Amino acid sequence: MTRTLPPQAWAATPGGGAVLGALDAANGTTRLVGGAVRDALLGLPVTDVDLATALSPGDVTKRLEAAGVQVVPTGIAHGTVTAVTPDLIMEVTTLRRDVSTDGRRATVAYTDDWREDAARRDFTINALYARLPGGGIDDWFGGLDDLGAGRVRFIGAPLQRIAEDHLRILRFFRFHSRFGRGEPDAAGLAACAARANDLMALSRERIRDELFRILVLPRAPETFALMLSLGVLKPVLPEILPARVPNLAALAAREAEWGAEPDPIRRFAALLPQRAGLGAEFGARLRLSRRDAARLDAFGIPDPLLPGDPHAAAYFSGVEVARDRLLLLGDEGRSAWEALANWEKPPLPVSGKDIIARGVSAGPEVSRRLQRFERDWVASGCPLDAARVDALLDAALG
């Protein structure tokens, strides 16, 4: 790992240059912070550019607008504005310190002390600041050493930091999953285990977002095994049992082998008992979207058409649900999975009108016949040539 920031392509774009120039980055008035510094030092792609600045939000806005940069006051109440340029979007946040906290939200005040701004961040590896140009790093809490050693360590006393913001319990496991090597930091781990009940004070959306972000990580099985062994999830999701973790591990391996993107709902389903009604059960508890709840529901009930008849399964449940079910099913689903690779649901070549035209009088009988035709047509592989469609229609009306 380097100890200076490697050259950043975004900083050399006209938009990046304009923002850094307007906010006086060359003198250290504005610095790159957080995930962007951490990821760049590890040689990972930088996705979100977060800047910390000693300038007030009003001053930031004035300077950016004078430089022709569009400014959106996204979080102006807590000191964040978004700089929008054709090249990239950057978040600019004025240095802050916590005035009071209650486990869920913090009241903040602006400060001109960089160390204070660093001290309110969660982990040492997330509290690094980089000077641009040049790439010199400010590191008040040993974050560079921790990053190099793969240590996710709270800044300050873990119990106190968790009392300030309970979400840090889940963030500890998420960042350890991403960047940790070897055993997790013992004091941090013990504090997370001891305070697991505090998670219940958080909104379900925030818990869901963190858990789903952990679920799609490459080391999710290991991390869930760790959280479950410490009882961290018991207060919020007692249904998840350690015995289901191998199922998640098998799914993760299968996704990699079959070329499927990790998906949080699919991975979540792998950890749950197989039973009807999962969508209703967890949809409300985790504030899932209607669509995600419906997918979860589908994963609780095996589809008798799989793996034997993938096209019929996909026709009735949708390609995505069928493919997800196959991934969850196991290796016997592989060829059915391949069979659905570029498959699209064909349109039903017959309508109620065609059935009426053949002498069935309008009414419920029409839809009964149509359903029968659909079932037989799908079972025959959805043929579209007229002769076969006719023959199937004859059979459905006979």
Residues contributing to the site for Mg ion (CB under 5 A): 35, 48
Q: Binding marks (x or -) toward ligand ATP, 123..162, rule CB under 6 A?
A: ---xx-----------------------------------
Return the residue of 15, 16, 17, 34 that touches ligand ATP, per CB under 6 A. Answer: 34
Q: In what order do the strands lie in the sheet with 89-94?
A: 70-75, 80-84, 89-94, 49-53, 30-33, 129-130, 137-138
Neighbours of 242 (CB within 10 A): 13
Q: How far is the CB of 101 from ligand ATP (least distance, A)?
A: 10
Return the residue of 31, 131, 153, 168 that touches ligand ATP, per CB under 6 A. Answer: 168
The residue number with the shortest CB distance to ligand ATP is 35
Q: Specify the residue, 75 or 273, whose C-beta has the smaller distance to Mg ion.
A: 75
Q: Specify the residue, 30 or 126, whose C-beta has the smaller distance to ligand ATP.
A: 126
Residue 369 lies near ligand ATP (rule: CB under 6 A): no
* Residue 354 · residue 393 · CB < 8 Å: yes
Residue 96 lies near ligand ATP (rule: CB under 6 A): no
Q: Which stretch binds ligand ATP (CB under 6 A): 167-175, 263-271, 292-300, 325-333?
A: 167-175
CA distances from 113 to 51, 61, 100 (A): 15, 21, 18
Nearest residue to 90 via CA among 11, 26, 29, 12:
11
Beta partners for 103?
Answer: 165
Q: How far is the CB of 174 from ligand ATP (least distance, A)?
A: 7
Q: Binding marks (x or -) toward ligand ATP, 49..78, rule CB under 6 A?
A: -x----------------------------
Q: Which stretch binds ligand ATP (CB under 6 A): 121-129, 145-153, 182-190, 339-347?
A: 121-129
Residue 167 lies near ligand ATP (rule: CB under 6 A): yes
Q: Specify the residue, 25 or 33, whose C-beta has the smaller distance to ligand ATP.
A: 33
Binding residues for ligand ATP, rule: CB under 6 A, are 34-35, 48, 50, 121-122, 126-127, 165, 167-168, 171
